């Protein structure tokens, strides 16, 4: 075992905890922790080890399965379930908490960890309202810890290239664009069936593109509108949505505007060739960026195994398992790199120099806006607006539109036929 390796046994250890051990844990967190247990290195911190010290889940069964699979003892890995699971996990002595529970359960776990002075990383969408974001951001500041969000699409090499071209002025002024992310029925009908009631695919996946647009192009969010369809996942007049179409309008320093449409679904047929199909197109004053997951390169067919057990359009950039040319097995990609980045940021704060300089190190890491929770304001504003518009629609008041930072307040929901808006958030976004 590595722990007995004299080269690594004396190294400092950063201990992480997991809330939720579902699909995204299996795909990204588990491979990260397994690779990092051997140690990470940065010139600023020296070498250190990273351990997954325990988890808090609803039933405890996935934690038990993980412990067994990895051959871990109870002392090595605390498996907590039930109402006090998060507190128990925090009490087990961890340095940072990863929150990957269903999105309407991020806030309470993140708050408990920040209150206890632990660094936190939250899966997208971070939280569902600006009031929640304000509370978590204030707590992180007060306790002197990092509060971060995972938006791994920002680390996709294709999106890095897009941002580089925009940043360097090679693509100038985005005018409009569309993004679509289509998930198969098995997501809504199987994997998420236990928590999907009252939810919509926009909050779950449109946020990837909300962040991409917000971070890549900057600007000020001006309005949010959303329509959607029901009747497959739940009743046609109920609160659970099959598909959504979100529209955002932004304004830039030049005074010029851009509009973006983001279409999402989790009821696409399971044998749809893309399985998860993603497409974007952005139109600039002087160019067009076209990205399509099925045109990225690879299409694989294996009789009896694709498209379910193996994917037809394999995204080897996100999270691929490989036999390396030098004979090792590895699992890597931007989905895993995002988690590693966060842990390196924590390490820089805690291990990157003398204690008296910790505040400067904390500020340097907190100011990385690509993953900072406090910088997620416009994305959370869009999610909160979309959820409010959809809730009104399912209550019989469709076609709302949210005005952002207008005369009435930060988020003002206007409904047809009403002369006054409903204020979702009073302060400026
Ligand atoms: N970055 C991405 O592309 C990506 C992809 C998938 C999911 N996600 C995000 O990850 C989160 C989880 O998604 P998933 O696909 O892993 O879901 P999942 O349904 O596969 O797993 C959810 C896990 O949370 C646990 N859980 C449920 N309620 C809990 C509670 N109250 N406290 C603690 N644990 C609880 C469940 O036991 C399960 O282990 C969501 O926020 C989702 O949006 C991100």
Q: What is the CATH number of the domain that holds 231?
A: 3.30.360.10
Report if residue 307 sits inside a domain.
Answer: yes
- Read off the pTM: 0.93
> Average of pLDDT values for 213-240?
96
CB 57 less than 6 A from any atom of ligand 1: yes
> Residue 6's pLDDT band (boundaries 50, 70, 90)?
low
> What is the rounded (10 degree) CA torsion for 23, 26, 30, 34?
-170
The answer to whether 329 and 322 have CB atoms below 8 angstroms apart is yes
CB 80 less than 6 A from any atom of ligand 1: no
> Average of pLDDT values for 293-306?
85
pLDDT of res. 8? 67
Q: Is 283 helix (H, G, I), strand (E, B) or coil?
A: strand
- Helix ranges (DSSP H) in 103-206: 106-115, 130-143, 157-167, 185-186, 201
pLDDT over 50 at 1, yes or no: no
Between the alpha carbon of residue 363 and those of residues 208, 358, 367, 369, the distances in Å are 26, 9, 6, 11
> Average of pLDDT values for 398-421?
97
pLDDT of res. 129? 96
Query: Do 260 and 350 lie in a common domain?
Result: no
pLDDT over 60 at 4, yes or no: no
pLDDT over 50 at 32, yes or no: yes
Between the alpha carbon of residue 5 and those of residues 186, 199, 266, 378, the distances in Å are 44, 48, 47, 47
pLDDT of res. 412? 98
Query: Do 332 and 420 lie in a common domain?
Result: no
Whole-angstrom distance, CA of residue 262 vs CA of residue 187: 19
Between the alpha carbon of residue 401 and those of residues 96, 201, 247, 395, 415, the distances in Å are 38, 19, 10, 15, 7
Measured in whole angstroms, how far is the alpha carbon of residue 380 from the centre of its chain?
Answer: 12
Query: Do 361 and 387 lie in a common domain?
Result: no
Query: Do 10 and 80 lie in a common domain?
Result: yes
Query: Do 36 and 126 lie in a common domain?
Result: yes
Distance 19 CA to ligand 1 centre (A): 8
Sign of CA dihedral 56, 57, 59, 65: negative
Q: What is the mean pLDDT of the chain?
A: 93
Distance 171 CA to ligand 1 centre (A): 36
> Average of pLDDT values for 43-60?
96
Query: Do 307 and 335 lie in a common domain?
Result: no
> Residue 308's pLDDT band (boundaries 50, 70, 90)?
confident
Report if residue 184 sits inside a domain.
Answer: yes
Q: Lowest-confidence range among 193-202, 211-220, 402-411?
A: 193-202
CB 207 less than 6 A from any atom of ligand 1: no
The preferred substitution site among 17, 19, 23 for testing ligand 1, maximizing ligand atoms within 8 Å of CB, is 23
- CATH code, domain carrying 28: 3.40.50.720
Where is pLDDT greater, at 295 or 59? 59
The preferred substitution site among 81, 123, 125 for testing ligand 1, maximizing ligand atoms within 8 Å of CB, is 123
Query: Do 147 and 8 lie in a common domain?
Result: yes
CB 258 less than 6 A from any atom of ligand 1: no
> Average of pLDDT values for 101-126?
96
CB 20 less than 6 A from any atom of ligand 1: yes
pLDDT over 50 at 46, yes or no: yes
pLDDT over 50 at 216, yes or no: yes
CB 183 less than 6 A from any atom of ligand 1: no
Query: Do 113 and 167 lie in a common domain?
Result: no
CB 60 less than 6 A from any atom of ligand 1: no
> Average of pLDDT values for 194-217?
92
Report if residue 373 sits inside a domain.
Answer: no
Query: Do 132 and 166 lie in a common domain?
Result: no
Report if residue 416 sits inside a domain.
Answer: yes
Report if residue 372 sits inside a domain.
Answer: no
Query: Do 169 and 291 lie in a common domain?
Result: yes
pLDDT over 90 at 214, yes or no: yes
Q: What is the pLDDT of residues 268-298, one digit of tens each?
A: 998 887 678 899 999 999 999 999 887 777 8
> Average of pLDDT values for 256-271?
94
pLDDT of res. 296? 75
Distance 145 CA to ligand 1 centre (A): 23
Query: Do 143 and 205 lie in a common domain?
Result: no
pLDDT of res. 241? 96
Whole-angstrom distance, CA of residue 250 vs CA of residue 258: 5
pLDDT over 60 at 2, yes or no: no
CB 344 less than 6 A from any atom of ligand 1: no
pLDDT over 90 at 91, yes or no: yes
Query: Do 54 and 90 lie in a common domain?
Result: yes
Task: Work out how many domains the chain is built from and give that number.
Answer: 2
CB 153 less than 6 A from any atom of ligand 1: no
Report if residue 322 sits inside a domain.
Answer: no
pLDDT over 80 at 411, yes or no: yes
- Tell me which residue has its CA closest to atom 6 in ligand 1: 24
**Residue 29's domain spans which residues?**
2-151+327-367
Nearest ligand 1 atom to alpha carbon 152: 1
Distance 280 CA to ligand 1 centre (A): 25
pLDDT of res. 335? 96
pLDDT over 90 at 192, yes or no: no
Report if residue 350 sits inside a domain.
Answer: yes
Specify burial of residue 209 (Cβ count, 10 A radius: 0-12, 13-18, 19+).
buried
Q: Which residue shows structure tokens 């504003």?
A: 381
């Amino acid at each position: 075992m590595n722990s007995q390796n004299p080269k690594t046994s004396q190294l400092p250890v950063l201990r992480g905890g997991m809330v939720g051990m579902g699909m995204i844990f299996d795909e990204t967190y588990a491979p990260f922790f397994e690779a990092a247990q051997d140690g990470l290195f940065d010139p600023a911190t020296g070498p250190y080890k990273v351990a997954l010290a325990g988890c808090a889940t609803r039933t405890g069964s996935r934690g038990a399965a993980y412990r067994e699979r990895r051959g871990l003892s109870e002392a090595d890995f605390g498996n907590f379930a039930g109402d006090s699971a998060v507190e128990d996990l925090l009490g087990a002595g961890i340095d940072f908490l990863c929150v990957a529970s269903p999105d309407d359960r991020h806030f309470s776990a993140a708050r408990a960890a920040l209150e206890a002075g632990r660094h936190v990383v939250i899966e997208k969408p971070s939280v569902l309202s600006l009031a929640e974001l304000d509370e978590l951001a204030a707590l992180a500041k007060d306790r002197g810890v990092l509060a971060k969000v995972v938006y791994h699409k920002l680390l996709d090499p294709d999106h890095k290239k897009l941002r580089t071209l925009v940043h360097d002025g090679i693509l100038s002024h985005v005018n409009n664009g569309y993004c679509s992310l289509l998930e198969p029925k098995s997501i809504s009908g199987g994997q998420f069936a236990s928590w999907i009631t009252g939810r919509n695919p926009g909050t779950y996946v449109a946020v990837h593109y909300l962040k991409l647009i917000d971070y890549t192009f900057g600007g000020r969010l001006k309005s949010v509108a959303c329509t959607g369809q029901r009747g497959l996942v739940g009743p046609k007049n109920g609160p659970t949505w099959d598909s959504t179409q979100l529209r955002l309008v932004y304004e830039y320093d030049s005074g010029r505007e851009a509009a973006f449409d983001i279409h999402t679904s989790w009821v696409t047929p399971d044998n749809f060739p893309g399985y998860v199909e993603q497409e974007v197109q952005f139109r600039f004053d002087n160019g067009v960026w076209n990205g399509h997951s099925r045109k990225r390169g690879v299409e694989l067919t294996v009789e009896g195994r694709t498209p379910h057990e193996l994917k037809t359009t394999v995204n080897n950039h996100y999270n691929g398992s490989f036999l390396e040319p030098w004979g090792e097995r590895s699992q890597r990609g931007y989905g895993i790199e995002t988690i590693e980045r966060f842990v390196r940021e924590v390490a820089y704060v805690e291990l990157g120099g003398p204690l008296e300089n910790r505040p400067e190190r904390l500020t340097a890491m907190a100011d990385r806006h690509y993953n900072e929770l406090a910088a997620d304001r416009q994305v959370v504003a869009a999610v909160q607006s979309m959820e409010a518009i959809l809730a009104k629609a399912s209550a019989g008041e469709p076609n709302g539109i949210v005005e952002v930072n207008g005369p009435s307040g930060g988020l003002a929901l206007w409904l047809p036929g009403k002369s006054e808006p409903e204020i979702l958030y009073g302060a400026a976004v």
